[in-house]
């Protein structure tokens, strides 16, 4: 491993040149602790380069102590590099001089442990790092030092200790036996709240335990995760390319967490699927407890489905939206879902002349029908919603209200009318379309095609394909044919629900079948020869 860096800073300033994206080879050299990317002053324009540099520093002492990294740290523009160097020095049993609060590292226990003596000295010199030292003790099993620190029983340290060395379980028992536990370390924000810790905390799966940091992701696909306690997004030369299908399976012993009351202290579990299903079902208590500050892939679509199917979930989001949706790109979709649920419950008080069009939903009759008087008032307030109001009237067979709307004939309305037992709607639309010279066979634009999806009778189809295991990646994703708006994307938990219903014997049979899944009945693809009398309960 080199003691010096092979490339130096370019003299060209970032303002004098276009931002440059470094190629993978340059970033990998930084990741390996061999050299900084060329033209390093524009590193600020490339997140991959920054992650690779942090990764190289944390794993390579010679890289951390090189003159070029020292110059980079002195520049002051990248405090994460200073924190990475300080973490590397500590893990190499060197106590760094730290004189600024933003230079204190959060994680000082990965990829290596320092000695117990080093951690003890560190805690004595920097008392504000006592909880980081305590977390390192939990991972390494330094029981004596942990007890010397006199820390409040912190749930993150407990979760780390539970997954640590054999001695770590002694620390875990020390914490879990306390009557009151606290939330002091926050792995989502890399912050430690010593002044005002939250009392009465339980183990909630909000800790990036040390073993999870060894699950690497390829440098070319670094985004999409909620923890970053090492500030390098766990990037590596090799690793999985992040996709939702590669999320971890919910282990069989944890499947009952989907349908049983949650214990006060969660076991060690990847809770992605628990969060998504709580949102999908509109379960306020479970979702509010389990969710993370940063939403994951598909979470918004599960939330929207939950809002449509649960008034209480919709009301909670109505209260929560200003705090939770600030700055989020999906705010319009969630606001529209809330309005849809409220309309179906016959409250349109939040829909005024000032309500933006983009939060006015199309689907306002599933899974519940609003009353005629509600639709009449809505049409009076927002004439621009006449088409979806007429659509709802056709579904619910509110003929008098439909007639009063005098809505412009449309292909989507005709498709719904042709499914109604009342022939009045189809006849009216055809008659008036002919009089107005409107072609009801014409295919509309993307938005109109999304509205057409709401005509589907089986809006959330079930499945007979039994999976041998389940993960968040088994939520069926419907693209361009979703019924809830939100850019035509809809999630369907049919595979999760079937798996929950099935017996353990059937699940095991499916896991051993070709592809890890099987069809349950004759005529199914990948039919698994379900015997007569055998069932999935």
What is the tens place of the pLDDT at every residue in 51-102?
999 999 999 999 999 988 998 898 888 899 999 999 999 999 999 999 999 9
Residue 238: predicted pLDDT: 81
Contact call for residues 180 and 198 (beta carbons, < 8 A): no
pLDDT in tens, 170-216: 999 999 999 999 999 999 999 999 999 999 999 999 999 999 999 88
Between 293 and 446, whose confidence is greater?
293
Mean pLDDT lowest for which of 117-126, 318-327, 506-515?
318-327
Residue 226: predicted pLDDT: 86
Residue 322 in this model has a pLDDT that exceeds 60: yes
Contact call for residues 106 and 83 (beta carbons, < 8 A): yes
Residue 458: predicted pLDDT: 94
φ/ψ of 471, rounded to 5, equals: -150, 175
> What Å distances lie between residue 79 and 111, 351, 462, CA to CA?
20, 47, 51
Contact call for residues 8 and 33 (beta carbons, < 8 A): no
Residue 410: predicted pLDDT: 94
Pure H helices in 163-218: 168-176
Mean pLDDT lowest for which of 264-268, 334-338, 525-529?
525-529
Contacts of residue 399, Cβ cutoff 8 Å, sequence gap at least 6: 393, 422, 424, 425
User: What integer best gives the mean pLDDT of the chain?
Assistant: 89
Confidence class for position 11, pLDDT limits 50, 70, 90:
very low
465-467 and 182-183 as β-strands: parallel, antiparallel, unpaired?
unpaired
Helix (H, G, I), strand (E, B) or coil at 354: coil
Largest CA distance in the chain: 90
Secondary structure element (H or E) that encloses residue 490, with its range: strand 490-492
Residue 537: predicted pLDDT: 43
Confidence class for position 294, pLDDT limits 50, 70, 90:
confident
Show me where the domains of the chain are located.
Answer: 14-236, 367-457
Residue 456: predicted pLDDT: 92
Residue 329: predicted pLDDT: 65
Residue 16 in this model has a pLDDT that exceeds 50: no
Residue 222 in this model has a pLDDT that exceeds 80: no
Query: Distance between CA atoms of 117 and 145, rounded to whole angstroms?
Result: 9
Residue 15: predicted pLDDT: 36
Residue 260: predicted pLDDT: 98
Residue 48: predicted pLDDT: 87
Mean pLDDT lowest for which of 83-92, 383-392, 487-496, 524-533?
524-533
Question: Per the confidence metrics, is the pTM higher than 0.85?
Answer: yes
| Buried-exposed string 373-404: b where 16+ CB fall within 10 A, e elsewhere | ebbbebbeebeebbbbbbbbbbbbebbebbee
Percent of residues, the chain, with pLDDT higher than 70: 90
Query: Distance between CA atoms of 294 and 189, rounded to whole angstroms?
Result: 10
**Closest C-alpha among 293, 320, 290, 317 to residue 305:** 317
Mean pLDDT lowest for which of 3-7, 299-303, 400-404, 474-478?
3-7
> What Å distances lie between residue 511 and 231, 506, 517, 522, CA to CA?
37, 9, 6, 19
Residue 533: predicted pLDDT: 45
Residue 195: predicted pLDDT: 94
Residue 247: predicted pLDDT: 62
Confidence class for position 233, pLDDT limits 50, 70, 90:
very high
φ/ψ of 341, rounded to 5, equals: -65, -40
Confidence class for position 7, pLDDT limits 50, 70, 90:
very low
Residue 259: predicted pLDDT: 97
Residue 223: predicted pLDDT: 73
Per DSSP, what are the bridge partners of residue 198? 183
Between 302 and 221, whose confidence is greater?
302
**The two structure tokens encoding residue 260:** 């049983």
218: Cα within 13 Å, side-chain hemisphere: 10
Residue 400 in this model has a pLDDT that exceeds 80: yes
Instruction: Give me the residue label for tokens 């700055």.
Output: 327
pLDDT in tens, 239-276: 665 555 456 789 999 999 999 999 999 999 989 999 99
């Amino acid at each position: 491993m080199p003691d010096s860096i092979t490339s130096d800073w370019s003299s060209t300033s970032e303002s004098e040149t276009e931002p440059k994206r470094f190629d993978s080879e340059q970033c990998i050299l930084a990741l390996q602790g061999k050299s900084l990317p060329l033209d390093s002053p524009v590193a600020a324009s490339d997140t991959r380069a920054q992650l690779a540099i942090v990764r190289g520093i944390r794993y390579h002492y010679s890289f951390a102590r090189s003159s070029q990294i020292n110059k980079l740290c002195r520049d002051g523009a990248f405090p994460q590099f200073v924190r990475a160097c300080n973490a590397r020095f500590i893990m190499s049993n060197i106590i760094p001089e730290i004189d600024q609060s933003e230079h204190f590292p959060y994680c000082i226990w990965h990829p290596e442990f320092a000695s117990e003596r080093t951690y003890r000295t560190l805690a004595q010199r920097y008392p504000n790092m006592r909880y980081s030292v305590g977390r390192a003790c939990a991972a390494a099993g330094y029981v004596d030092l942990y007890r010397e620190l006199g820390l409040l029983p912190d749930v993150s340290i407990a979760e780390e200790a539970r997954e640590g060395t054999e001695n770590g379980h002694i620390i875990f028992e020390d914490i879990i036996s306390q009557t009151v536990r606290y939330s002091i370390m926050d792995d989502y924000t890399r912050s430690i709240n010593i002044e005002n810790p939250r009392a009465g905390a339980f183990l909630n799966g909000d800790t990036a335990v040390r073993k999870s940091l060894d699950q690497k992701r390829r440098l070319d696909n670094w985004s999409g995760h909620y923890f970053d306690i090492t500030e390098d997004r766990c990037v590596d030369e090799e690793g999985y390319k992040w996709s939702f299908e590669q999320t971890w399976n919910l282990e069989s012993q944890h499947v009952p967490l989907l349908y049983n009351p949650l214990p006060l202290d969660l076991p060690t579990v990847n809770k992605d699927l628990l969060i998504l299903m709580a949102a999908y079902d509109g379960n306020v208590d479970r979702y509010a407890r389990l969710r993370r500050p940063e939403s994951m892939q598909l979470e918004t679509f599960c939330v929207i489905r939950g809002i449509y199917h649960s008034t209480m979930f919709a009301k909670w989001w109505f209260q929560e939206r200003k705090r939770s949706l600030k700055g989020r790109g999906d705010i319009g979709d969630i606001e529209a879902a809330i309005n849809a649920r409220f309309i179906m419950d016959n409250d349109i008080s939040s829909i005024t002349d000032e309500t933006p069009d983009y939060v006015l939903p199309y689907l306002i009759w599933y899974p519940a029908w609003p009353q005629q008087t509600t639709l009449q008032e809505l049409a009076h307030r927002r004439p621009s919603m006449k088409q979806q109001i007429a659509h709802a009237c056709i579904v619910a067979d509110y003929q008098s209200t439909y007639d009063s709307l005098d809505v412009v004939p449309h292909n989507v309305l005709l498709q719904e009318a042709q499914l109604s037992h009342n022939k009045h709607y189809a006849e009216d639309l055809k008659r008036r379309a002919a009089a107005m010279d409107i072609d009801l066979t014409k295919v509309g634009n993307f938005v109109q095609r999304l509205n057409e999806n709401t005509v589907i009778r089986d809006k959330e189809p079930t499945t007979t394909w039994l999976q041998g295991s389940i993960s968040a990646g088994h939520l069926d994703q419907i693209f361009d044919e979703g019924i809830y708006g939100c850019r035509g994307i809809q999630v369907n938990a049919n595979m999760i629900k079937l798996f929950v219903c099935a017996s353990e014997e059937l699940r095991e049979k499916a896991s051993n079948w070709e592809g890890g899944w099987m069809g349950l009945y004759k005529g199914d693809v990948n039919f698994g020869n379900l015997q007569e009398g055998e069932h999935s309960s």
